[in-house]
Amino acid sequence: MTDNNKENTKQTYSVSGLSCGGCASTIEIRLSSIPKIKSAKVDMHKK
């Protein structure tokens, strides 16, 4: 069952200083653990 009253949004943030995949993975895992966040993806190659 889908709740059509909930609004889905996409937000993009710039974070400087990431230098390894381990840091990116940690950010994705921690953000995804927040109940209202459905998913998080870090793209270290996007400028």
Q: Which residue has the higher pLDDT, 15 or 47?
A: 15
Task: Give the domain ranges of the chain.
Answer: 18-42
End-to-end Cα separation, the chain, in angstroms? 38
Calculate mean pLDDT across residues 19-35.
92
Whether residue 9 is predicted with pLDDT greater than 90 in this model: the reply is no
Q: How far is CA 25 from the centre of its chain?
A: 10
Whether residue 18 is predicted with pLDDT greater than 70 in this model: the reply is yes
In contact, 43 and 27? CB cutoff 8 Å: no
State the pLDDT at residue 32.
Answer: 93
State the pLDDT at residue 16.
Answer: 85
Pairwise CA distance, residues 40 & 47, whole Å: 17
Pairwise CA distance, residues 18 & 33, whole Å: 20
Q: Which residue has the higher pLDDT, 31 or 17?
A: 31
> Exposed/middle/buried for 42, CB within 10 Å: 0-12, 13-18, 19+?
middle
